Amino acid sequence: MKTLSLGWAALVACNLMAVASLAAAEVSPVERKAQLGRLLFFDATLSEPAGQSCASCHDPAVAFVDPDTAKPTSKGVHRERFGSRNTPSAMYMAFSPAFHFDQAEGHYVGGQFWDGRAATLEEQAKAPFLAPLEMANPDKRAVVEKVRRAAYAGQFDEVFGKDALAAVEPAFECIVAALAAFERTAEFQPFTTKHDAWLQGRAKLSSQELRGLALFNDEKKGNCAACHPSQRRPDGGLPLFTDFTYDNLGVPKNPENPFYRQHKAWNPQGAKFVDRGLGGVVKKRSEDGKFKVPTLRNIARTAPYMHNGYFRTLRGVVAFYNDRDLRPACKGAAIEAEALKRGCWPRPELRRNVNTEEMGRLGLSEQDVDDIVAFLQTLSDGYVP
């Protein structure tokens, strides 16, 4: 657990220009930047070929995850290409502090992506445009040229100052600054769950939901809040259900991950591919297999679960936390449903650094598991008391 600071800090040259060009408008410069970011976010002409926008994989109708759940990972604009990781929600990620090593706590925290490899939302937004398995633009110039042709191109000068799109590098910085501004709006962090309403004294949780919450918080039971804090933040803000730290839960390889069958150009290791997570970013074996703690807000809407989408159900996730270290190892690969049926769990994708202290043998009853799952259903935004 740690004190969270807002990830607003990234200073891009465009931010300063924006202030200078503030017209006598009723809308603030930040709002106008965010409105432009919204247009970019939904613009499917910004991929190569055209056809995929940020919203294709981060759809507001499903808490900004991929609405296509047929596969555990998302397809790119080239529809036969699949990435290696499950698309996380982009919601509440504005709260992730810039990626850093916390000296006092002795661990990494914050950043964007499952492995923290982008420090900020601005840095993150650059990646999908240029990723061959996603929007597949060959370079920044290609992205900027597409934006120059967009109906809203003229707004760039209004928001960021004269000739904002004239040169490729600064133009690309303005594009990602606008996207990040959009991702910092209330649309991405509405704080309107049943649990929020309960904390504000505007709703009642059922007795089962309350039992689930107690188990979720109890260090001797679920202990979930150790990494997914459920209490108000130190500044009084509603809980984010992530502390933005990194852990290896021992999640099995997902035999259904289409990345294993990708062309050698994207995945030279084929079926032997192992996702090192944070370890691959900071180049340390001691961080191998660790992934960023995801928020549990809207979790009922964002299946499948975990970095590789191994779990299709919340019940399976909680069962895994409960008895990961009690069941025998499955012989060979097994998807979640098979493992549950056979009473086994496959070995971890990466055995180094698996957390055996806070999970694996929680001693929860079947009823306890159901109660925690019931509580998790109270974390979906849009609840009307």
What are the residues binding ligand HEC (CB under 6 A)? 52, 54, 56-58, 74, 76, 83, 85, 87-88, 90, 93, 112-115, 121, 124-125, 128-129, 134-135, 179, 183, 222-224, 226-228, 247, 249, 251, 291, 293-294, 296, 299, 302, 305-307, 314, 317-318, 321, 355, 358-359, 372
Rounded distance between C-alpha atoms, residue 276 and residue 245, angstroms: 16
Residue 207 to residues 204, 213, 318, 374, 375, Cα–Cα distance (Å): 9, 10, 19, 10, 10
Least distance between ligand HEC and beta carbon 202 (Å):
24
- Smallest gap from Cβ 210 to ligand HEC, in A, equals 15
Q: Work out how close the CB of 200 gets to ligand HEC at its nearest, in angstroms, rounded to a whole number.
A: 23
Burial class (CB in 10 A: 0-12, 13-18, 19+), 305: buried
Rank residues 90 and 144 by Cβ distance to ligand HEC and give the closer one: 90
Cβ atoms of 132 and 114 closer than 8 Å: no
The pair of structure tokens assigned to 382 is 């849009």
**Given phi > 0 = left and psi -120 to 50 = alpha, else beta, which region is 264?**
alpha
Closer residue to ligand HEC, CB minimum distance, 29 or 88: 88
135/159 with CB nearer ligand HEC: 135
Nearer of residues 80 and 202 to ligand HEC, judged by Cβ: 80
Smallest distance from the beta carbon of 186 to ligand HEC, in angstroms?
A: 16
What distance lies between CA 116 and its chain's CA centroid? Answer: 10
Residue nearer to ligand HEC on the CB measure, 147 or 179: 179
259, 82 contact by CB (below 8 A):
yes
13 or 301, CB closer to ligand HEC?
301
Distance, in Å, from the CA atom of 105 to the CA atom of 110, rounded to the nearest integer, reads 13
Least distance to ligand HEC, CB of residue 226, Å: 4
Q: Which of 223, 221, 240 is nearest to 232 (CA)?
A: 240
End-to-end CA distance of the chain: 30
The single residue listed with the structure tokens 């600064």 is: 170
Least separation in angstroms between CB 21 and ligand HEC? 23
Nearest residue to 161 (alpha-carbon basis) of 35, 31, 22: 22
Give the nearer residue to ligand HEC in terms of CB position, either 117 or 338: 117
Provide the greatest CA pair distance for the chain. Answer: 68
Taking the complex as a whole, the smallest distance from the CB of residue 286 to ligand HEC amounts, in Å, to 15
> How many CB atoms neighbour CB 355 within 10 A?
15
Instruction: Please give the Cα distance from 242 to 228 (Å, whole number).
Output: 4
Nearer to ligand HEC, 24 or 149 (CB): 149
Q: Least distance (Å) from ligand HEC to the CB of residue 162?
A: 25
